[in-house]
Chains A and B, each alone.
Chain A
């Protein structure tokens, strides 16, 4: 049995605008793999190609090149979708159904027997916190409630692979935490989760592996620890300065002032700075030390660096013309 839950190889999608005057490359050869039991975060800004990749995996969009498999089955085969649960981005469901009826319809499409459908729908509706809204039609649901209903239907077939397109979208902080807990629970039960987001804190909190996509191309892929630079980027020093003049004196090279408010000065110095000497000078000026902290690269730094790189790439420049 393949250890890969999802394999995407050189996936391409090109749209032609009406009358075939212009080609728009939505995916430019995306390649990545998701191992079984992993949480895989798919990150990118709006319009990067996250949703196109996911919709291609789910059979909604036909790729113009490359290939992809889910649990060893080509995405062109219907079998690829039997053991997959899918939550679309900003899910739209038949608004005249109740959440129970939505789960029942989903169960029917997966061929789940009537008794099992009812039992599973009841469990999932409670699990996503919609027990009290069971009799309401989806028309009356808030965006967050629809997202929860979408999660319930995505799990109706007890899938081995769960694909969630922007699952935290529209949720309040409590809802986001519940979805995060649900994703972690799915991994604990041996499921594979691929989720897309542009909220980096969600990826840092959840993902075993991360892929960053921009302008239809994968910029990098790996564990969060592999991706971010472990070396110290800078040292942030906070001192309490006696007055503005002292703060100005301490904000000269090699230090860069980050902020000065209520007597608290925060500066950033390069990692090779003699911090002891800098602090001694600060003390001479009457300042007292509050904190000294090294700053490592974060996923956000990496993300911003790679997005900027993608925007400057020849392909991106070509796309802008």
Chain B
């Protein structure tokens, strides 16, 4: 089982590594870090803050968008190009195939986030402040968010076209980032809005957990530049993210099991 999943994962990694857009994304993120460093020099005492904010935002946004693109493309492409015929006809369970695709995608995204992080760390080192533990925690959280977004994309891709999957995944990512606002809406005057907001909170992963800098956690304002969350919080967020990843990939497996490859 592990061998088959790993074979699909490695092949997915190899396939994704050939997608030139990924190299474009890498260039954009590195350029954003360089820009942050340059802008930081122009500001007074804000150089490190700018480098950290732009670097982390780049990882979170570009990483999530890349996860959506990869997630909706890689599974669908197998069906559209009929490469899946030569794979599913082998003694591999369909769920092993889906899990293998996810693991391969997660590997690619992890390497990408790793490269983003290295670029950011270099800029922070050039700025003289280096990489603080708060930044490390923020990077881990951003990486977890990217992995959850990849699971969202692969879930939609298991039953829909890339275009629709992309729209759905983008909508879910946006809603996931707006969970504090959705929570506020549960107390809205209109009962119908309250119900919709409560349902949305149940079916949308709370991605705001992974981008807490500048928000309140347990009643206290946390910031990557000052007081940030503890490792305990990171572990809790990781457990939340892993829970969503397992649930979404499992649902994708169930839906994929029912498909015909005619």
Interface residues of A (CB under 8 A from B): 15, 52, 55, 58-62, 78-79, 81-82, 84, 86, 88, 91-94, 96-97, 105-106, 108-111, 150, 153
Across the interface, which residues of A come within 8 angstroms of B89, CB to CB? 58-60, 81, 84, 86, 88
Q: How far is the CB of A89 from chain B (nearest CB, A)?
A: 8
* Cα–Cα distance between A82 and B89 once the two chains are bound (Å): 10
* Cβ of B44 under 8 Å from chain A: no
* Cβ of B82 under 8 Å from chain A: yes
* Cα–Cα distance between A59 and B88 once the two chains are bound (Å): 7
> In chain A, what residue has the closest Cβ to B11?
A105
Across the interface, which residues of A come within 8 angstroms of B90, CB to CB? 81, 86, 106, 109-110
5 A-B pairs closest in CB distance: A108-B7, A58-B89, A109-B90, A88-B85, A60-B261
B91 & A78 in contact (Cβ 8 Å cutoff): yes
| Known contacts A79-B91, A105-B11, A109-B92; A60/B260 CB under 8 A | yes
* Cα–Cα distance between A58 and B87 once the two chains are bound (Å): 10
B3 & A94 in contact (Cβ 8 Å cutoff): no
Mark each residue of chain B from 234 to 262: 1 if its CB lies under 8 Å from any CB of chain A, else 0.
00000000000000000000000010111
Across the interface, which residues of B come within 8 angstroms of A88, CB to CB? 82, 85-86, 89
Interface residues of B (CB under 8 A from A): 3-4, 6-7, 11, 14-15, 18, 81-93, 258, 260-262
Q: Identify which of B6, B14, B18, B85 contacts A55 (C-beta below 8 A).
A: B85
Across the interface, which residues of A come within 8 angstroms of B258, CB to CB? 62
A94 & B262 in contact (Cβ 8 Å cutoff): no
Q: Identify which of A81, A94, A153 contacts B91 (C-beta below 8 A).
A: A81
A-B contact pairs, 9 of them (CB 8 A): A60-B84, A94-B83, A96-B14, A105-B7, A108-B6, A109-B92, A111-B3, A111-B91, A153-B86
Q: Identify which of A59, A79, A93 contacts B86 (C-beta below 8 A).
A: A93
